[in-house]
Structure 1
């Protein structure tokens, strides 16, 4: 979807303390060889901080940086990956209450780690639909400390970190522009992350740990495996990247940096940078390897960190690429229009 005058006016994040991967190796929570091959140095671990509370802290920072009264928000979208709190409870209203987001329409998006792309697409459409829709808050929070998941080894090439992130979209002002965002679903891969587990009773009522490695192996050896194998995934990603770049009015040569899901170096290079024809130096892997795969927050946190450090500046283009269970693939292009006032790279004007 080509967007029109959808601006980014604020970004925020909450990153808890980092735990070195060596700590997990010493406790045999992850195989030493795998840890060395992945290249991930540490992951963020929130302990007992609730996921929605991390989202609140990130949202407050994003709203403060946007210099926006939250009462003017028309939409609040909460993106979740893991369990958020009590069953039957809605985390988006917790964020709405604790940020003072007024009577904004609030909804939760549960779409795995590429859910922020869908939130961007939905929020952009909301803002473009009517001049009365002035701003939207998109936020995510996840705490993977759980007896139902082993964060250090639940999926090959990924180690889960905890975080909160937020972005404020505006029709009025901003330091960056969302130029295009697209997503595609390949439902024939749905069973890849389901494995042999029955649909009832729901997983929340079971004692088995989530193990994507096992479910993928079962899928590869079972009747649901797509005969096209990974070729369909590669073609779908190529198509959606080409479409997003075309709608944004740029080529791959104009891309300054690329953010992909925070996985191992092999995964980021093989699934993102090589297919894009770009060197790893343009990826955000060096930052991502210090926090782990922080759910739906990977790309937003990477964008914030690049702006804080001044590695993204006015005129640069930032490409976000994501993939999630389902199977979903998504892409977005953001143009940096100005150095945000909270960036350390912004020149100080003498009084």
Structure 2
């Protein structure tokens, strides 16, 4: 989908103060040394007990609104995306974020798209603004704190280390530091069992054990000798097609873009899934920065863009491609064009 007159007006992030390194986790017996070597992740931020996902999302949201210079009453939609537990059961974290950021009676909706939530929400927010002539701006927030006993950030997935944090963007029809040129989304539901596994549960945390995503993946991938290769082929095919669709709608090519932001994934996934597959120069990504923060659920893409901006790297006229991948499976690609280097 090509967008006209939709802008990223503000972006905000929040990182907890506490840092725990992979070396410390290995020394304490919390992280497998071989997995640490393979992943390359050096450290993560760890949220305090009073910093569940929505609290960090709201802090990031307030910063994004301040940077955007948008009045609270001009925010017509709040979308809050997350992966894990949000600090309480059977409640609405989206309305907490609404109340803690802009207040009022704007629509507040939560999304569960795995780690694709931020970009899926961006596309939906753009659609909402364009479809309603009387709207001005939308706030998209993300936030997750991965805590025991529900999730062990070091061992829930043998290819991923989970870090805590929150992030947000403001989309506006009145202008911003970057134009949203195009987005594209694609699903491959035949891969849904990868993260469900082969067993059902009666309730959250029913067995009283931390989530074991590795075991779920293994139980499905071991069902026949071709399952692993078939899954990789489907992932590669969908990734290539959704990327090309977004670039075509934006009227550009990957070679004509200057920046690429993907999730803070492990070294083996980043190198083979993104850098080598696409011929990317790692210096055009926030990959090295991400190794000091781990995979922050939905927040990685907004965090990565904010990091590039903080270093003053994107200039007016530069194009940036960002991609999200969520369990389900689902991919969203967004293409931005910077109109300026933000003052912050």
Q: Same fold (TM over 0.5)?
A: yes
Change (3 A) 1:150 1:332: same
Counterpart residue number, 1:237: 239
Aligned with residue 143 of structure 1, among 139, 142, 145: 145
| 2:286–2:307 contact (8 Å) kept in structure 1 | no
| 1:160–1:295 contact (8 Å) kept in structure 2 | yes
- Paired with 2:335 and 2:189, the residues of 1 have a C-alpha distance of 25
Counterpart residue number, 1:334: 336
- Paired with 1:205 and 1:38, the residues of 2 have a C-alpha distance of 30
Q: Indicate the SS of the match to 2:81.
A: strand
Counterpart residue number, 1:174: 176
Q: Indicate the SS of the match to 1:229.
A: helix
Alignment of 1:43-62 (within 5 A): 43-48=44-49, 49-62=51-64
Counterpart residue number, 2:12: 12
- In structure 2, the gaps of 5 or more residues are none
- In structure 1, the gaps of 5 or more residues are 343-351
Quote how far apart the aligned CAs of 1:19 are.
1.4
Q: Deviations over 1:191-224 (max 9, x none)?
A: 11011331x4123443132111111111111269
- Paired with 1:225 and 1:192, the residues of 2 have a C-alpha distance of 10
- Paired with 1:83 and 1:197, the residues of 2 have a C-alpha distance of 21
- Paired with 2:220 and 2:197, the residues of 1 have a C-alpha distance of 6
Counterpart residue number, 2:188: 186
Q: Deviations over 1:312-345 (max 9, x none)?
A: 1211111111211111122111111101121xxx
Counterpart residue number, 1:349: none
Q: Deviations over 1:2-58 (max 9, x none)?
A: 111110111001011321111101111111222122211110111211211101110
- Paired with 2:211 and 2:29, the residues of 1 have a C-alpha distance of 18
- Paired with 1:208 and 1:32, the residues of 2 have a C-alpha distance of 22
Q: Indicate the SS of the match to 1:35.
A: helix
Counterpart residue number, 1:348: none
Counterpart residue number, 1:159: 161
1:299 counterpart = 2:301:
yes
Q: Superposition RMSD on alpha carbons, in Å?
A: 1.5
Quote how far apart the aligned CAs of 1:225 are.
4.2
TM-score (norm 1): 0.94
Aligned residues: 341
Q: Indicate the SS of the match to 1:286.
A: helix
Counterpart residue number, 2:38: 37
Aligned with residue 95 of structure 1, among 85, 97, 100: 97
Counterpart residue number, 2:262: 260
| 1:72–1:101 contact (8 Å) kept in structure 2 | no
Quote how far apart the aligned CAs of 1:293 are.
0.2
Aligned with residue 228 of structure 1, among 227, 230, 235: 230
| 2:20–2:46 contact (8 Å) kept in structure 1 | yes
Q: Deviations over 1:294-327 (max 9, x none)?
A: 0100010000110111121211111111211111
Quote how far apart the aligned CAs of 1:226 are.
7.7
Aligned with residue 104 of structure 1, among 103, 106, 118: 106
